[in-house]
Structure 1
Amino acid sequence: MSERVLMPRNRGFLFLDSHPAGCERLVADVWQACPDAVEVPQGDGPVALIIGSSAGYGLAATVAGLRRAGIRGIMLSFEKAATERRTATAGWYRTADIARAAGRDLVFLNGDAFSDTMKDQVADLIEQRFGGRLDHLIYSVAAPRRVDPDTGTTYASVLKPIGQAYRTKTLAFDDRGVPEVREVETGPAEGDDVEQTVAVMGGADWERWIDRLAGRGLLGEGFTTAALSYIGSPLTAAVYRQGTIGAAKAHLEATARTLNERLDKTVGGRAVTSVNGVAVTQSSTAIPGIALYTGLLRGVLGQKLVPPARQLAALWDQLTGAAPLVLDDEGRVRLDTWELAEDVQAAVAERWEAATTDTIAGIADLDWLHAEVQRLYGFSVPGVDYTAAVATDIPWPTS
């Protein structure tokens, strides 16, 4: 088994390696951050499929589902194994750690969620291993591209404003962790950028999953499904909610309304989008302005910033009936109200205006933000000895 001493190597917010021991400790921390249910079902808990289970909101949904709802079922992600030059991806290690900690009847699949081959593999497992009944489906997919199974066309998503170029403040750290606030300009969407992004990040694949599973008669009575989403602050709206990704999110929400009508008629079920609060994720750090906004928000809220595991615990309570399902006028579960409160947004906006390289350390929680980014890859996790060699070729969990 290959063992190496691993130190963080990064290009901006992108890290080249991940630390297995740090990822293991991080999963344990997420586990502890999620409250247990008063009575977690033992034995045959509800059967769930979580698509995008290894990172971000999807990881939180997996842990919260296990601890809060006692789920069993299938966890699907797309990760890379270790090679001679690189460690495995952080999601690979996190998946192995969840498998060790779960103590539940779980199958972990690694592959392309957009493919019909994977959909059929999942359907076979539900039929053969889980009694032919699926109770819950969580859809949490952030991807750069998607191949349409019907046409073979490859669609690529982009992060661009719509209509005109957008100039915004953003935050960067150099190799020593020194912060810099700078301005960046993002050119507007061109050609079919919007349609391409919607094809990848909208609701088409979510609906295809439901179609495939319903066609096999695998949706249980009262089946619920939720697609995880984000709206965010007016400070980042031009490049996010009002940009190409926002168009995809609007399509996702429209898909939820369509699916909800169908599921209500066929299995007495529900389909919703869950609008989550901000989190430091591998996807969010790629969006101009989001890192700066998140650091400022943490500076305003401190420990009152709600971690993803607690957000998703609240979602599971609503999906399982442990708490009432509360929807806004658009039919969305809102787990972001703490973030978008008027007083909070006003305080963040004031700091945003004041943010420069000289002032940022005093108005944003940069130590927390910088550590959170590193923790995505298993670094800067308290209690881990980073001078010790660790095994990197951890096997994918079997079941």
Structure 2
Amino acid sequence: MSLRQIDPKQRGFLIVNSHPTGSAETVTRMWDKIPARTDGSSPVVLLLGHSAGYGLATLLTGLRRHGIRGVGVAYEGAETERRTATAGWYRTAAAARLAAEVGSDFVFVNTDAFSEKGKAEVLDLVKERFGTVDYLIYSLAAPRRTDPVTGTVHHSVIKPLGQPYQAPALDFSDGTAKVSSIRLEPATEDETYATEQVMGGADWQLWVEALAERSLLADRFTTVALTYIGSELTAPVYRQGTIGAAKKHLENTAGDLNDTVLADGQRAFTVVAGAAVTQASSAIPSIALYTAFLHTVLGDRFRTTAQQAEDLWDQLTGTAPLVTDEQGRIRLDGWELDPKVQDQVRELWADPQAGLASAPAGAAWFMSQLRDLYGWGLDGIDYDQPDQTTVAWPTPQKSGVAQSHE
């Protein structure tokens, strides 16, 4: 057990430590805003990337509304002498407590989901504890991935394709919001390929194939992978850049899975989510400024990750009809891409300095949301007091309710 006085270590959008109580509180507050359970289906879910962003929202919404059982996978760092555990570590412990409170048999595994060893560990657990999987939710985000066949380490890059990209960006380098300009050179073919290998559908396909080989797919099995399209304003660095190439690879993989691996009655979709403040999105140039302006326009109409996850679960479980586009992608982003909303964002984007000056609350909101991810800046928490940084990763009891061991 370790009580420490913790102060945030932050430079711009980079936050390198977390607050244990604050990180746990973000989970509790998200949970409290999710409407209570509406059905008694209790499907078995394998959730890859459960500890942050849309993965966390999908976990909590599934637990609270649909009583999901299953396995969550994340790759989080434990506490060291110099640093707290990652925020995702503390969020997982909080999520496990909530799962236990509602009596859900949900197990959390801390492993490299890209590795063959990690896959084997998780699939052994699934087979032993649950038999088959009803839903595989793929929500992994990482800067690199090792190909399990060749051993090649692929590193993703955030770059445009074909020509340089120059655009305004939100800048918090000196602690206050301002607009700066960023310029990115175009990616090489090798960089584009590497990004596809990290953020595309290669690993998703390996997971589905591994489940199928072990006869772990339920008859009505459905798998989804999260993707994003976004605005034309950010398209050169996102949808038309290396990330967009990876997302197209992901979307093509859904078709390949439906055509080759999955049987009749089984389905694979990509899910186009709307904008959100996540650890990944804060690292993409221009996305922070765009998201700040989007929130300026929408205010309370900006849909949280939990609200979007609620929409997703309702569609997957048949509570609501599937909303798909001509490519067969499930769409959750209509609120963001509404033409009237985009017109207002475009007006702010046309003169970003004036847009930020006239509506600084959007930038302040973005930074507060980012700090929340690491447990900082939440009302009601005394950050001047030492906090318990030693929190165990939750392990399952034989009865199926998660507990923690020191």
Instruction: Supply the AA of the counterpart residue of 1:379.
Output: W
- Give the CA deviation at 1:122: 1.5
Give the whole-Å Cα distance in 1 for the aligned partners of 2:295 and 2:318.
Answer: 32
Instruction: Supply the AA of the counterpart residue of 1:23.
Output: S
Please give the secondary structure, in 1, of the residue aligned with 2:394: coil
Cα–Cα, structure 1 residues 393 and 361, in superposed 2: closer, same or farther, change >3 Å? farther
Which of 359, 365, 368 is equivalent to 1:363? Answer: 359
Are residues 1:381 and 2:378 paired? yes
Please give the secondary structure, in 2, of the residue aligned with 1:226: strand
- Give the CA deviation at 1:381: 1.2
- Give the CA deviation at 1:263: 5.6
Deviations 1:135-166 (A, max 9, x none): 00000111111111111111111000000110
Instruction: Supply the AA of the counterpart residue of 2:280.
Output: S
Are residues 1:151 and 2:150 paired? yes
Please give the secondary structure, in 1, of the residue aligned with 2:376: coil
Superposition map of 1:203-222 within 5 A: 203-222=201-220
- What residue is the counterpart of 2:170 in the other structure? 171
- What residue is the counterpart of 1:142 in the other structure? 141
Farther-moved stretch of structure 1 (26-35 vs 94-103): 26-35
Are residues 1:99 and 2:96 paired? yes
Are residues 1:344 and 2:341 paired? yes
- What residue is the counterpart of 2:48 in the other structure? 51
- Give the CA deviation at 1:50: 0.4
Deviations 1:339-381 (A, max 9, x none): 000010010010011211x651422512211211110110011
Please give the secondary structure, in 1, of the residue aligned with 2:370: helix
Which of 284, 287, 310 is equivalent to 1:313? Answer: 310
**What residue ranges of structure 2 are gaps of 5+ in the alignment?**
397-406
Deviations 1:75-96 (A, max 9, x none): 0001000111111111000000
Which of 303, 324, 328 is equivalent to 1:327? Answer: 324
| Runs of 4 or more consecutive aligned structure 1 residues displaced over 4 Å after TM superposition | none
Please give the secondary structure, in 1, of the residue aligned with 2:233: helix
- What residue is the counterpart of 1:200 in the other structure? 198
Compute the TM-score of the two structures, normalised by the length of structure 1: 0.96
- What residue is the counterpart of 2:183 in the other structure? 185
Which of 57, 61, 66 is equivalent to 2:63? Answer: 66
- Give the CA deviation at 1:248: 0.3
Farther-moved stretch of structure 1 (302-311 vs 323-332): 323-332
Give the whole-Å Cα distance in 1 for the aligned partners of 2:36 and 2:255.
Answer: 31
- What residue is the counterpart of 1:227 in the other structure? 225
- What residue is the counterpart of 2:404 in the other structure? none
Contact 1:351 1:363 in 2 (8 A): no
Please give the secondary structure, in 1, of the residue aligned with 2:72: strand
Instruction: Supply the AA of the counterpart residue of 1:157.
Output: S
Contact 2:160 2:238 in 1 (8 A): yes
Give the whole-Å Cα distance in 2 for the aligned partners of 1:246 and 1:86.
Answer: 34
Which of 289, 297, 302 is equivalent to 2:299? Answer: 302
Instruction: Supply the AA of the counterpart residue of 1:119.
Output: K
- Give the CA deviation at 1:336: 0.4
Give the whole-Å Cα distance in 2 for the aligned partners of 1:162 and 1:35.
Answer: 42
Contact 1:51 1:141 in 2 (8 A): yes
Identity %: 52
Please give the secondary structure, in 2, of the residue aligned with 1:38: coil
Give the whole-Å Cα distance in 2 for the aligned partners of 1:133 and 1:67.
Answer: 21
Are residues 1:284 and 2:276 paired? no
- Give the CA deviation at 1:190: 1.5
Please give the secondary structure, in 2, of the residue aligned with 1:280: coil
- What residue is the counterpart of 2:236 in the other structure? 238
**Considering only aligned residues, what root-mean-square deviation do their CA atoms show, in Å?**
1.3
Deviations 1:260-319 (A, max 9, x none): 23465x251111001001000000000000110111011000000000001011111111
Give the whole-Å Cα distance in 1 for the aligned partners of 2:93 and 2:119.
Answer: 22
Give the whole-Å Cα distance in 1 for the aligned partners of 2:155 and 2:374.
Answer: 25
Give the whole-Å Cα distance in 1 for the aligned partners of 2:193 and 2:146.
Answer: 14
Please give the secondary structure, in 2, of the residue aligned with 1:325: coil
Contact 2:209 2:261 in 1 (8 A): no
- What residue is the counterpart of 1:161 in the other structure? 160
Instruction: Supply the AA of the counterpart residue of 1:72.
Output: R
**What residue ranges of structure 1 are gaps of 5+ in the alignment?**
none
Give the whole-Å Cα distance in 1 for the aligned partners of 2:127 and 2:16.
Answer: 39
Cα–Cα, structure 1 residues 129 and 267, in superposed 2: closer, same or farther, change >3 Å? farther
- Give the CA deviation at 1:40: 4.2
Instruction: Supply the AA of the counterpart residue of 1:12.
Output: G
Give the whole-Å Cα distance in 1 for the aligned partners of 2:261 and 2:294.
Answer: 38
- Give the CA deviation at 1:178: 1.1
Compute the TM-score of the two structures, normalised by the length of structure 2: 0.94
Instruction: Supply the AA of the counterpart residue of 2:356.
Output: I
Deviations 1:34-81 (A, max 9, x none): 22342344xxx2110000100111111111111122111000001000
Instruction: Supply the AA of the counterpart residue of 2:253.
Output: T
Deviations 1:212-255 (A, max 9, x none): 01000000010000001111111110000000000000010010
Instruction: Supply the AA of the counterpart residue of 1:107.
Output: V
Instruction: Supply the AA of the counterpart residue of 1:349.
Output: R
Give the whole-Å Cα distance in 2 for the aligned partners of 1:212 and 1:359.
Answer: 50
Give the whole-Å Cα distance in 2 for the aligned partners of 1:354 and 1:68.
Answer: 43
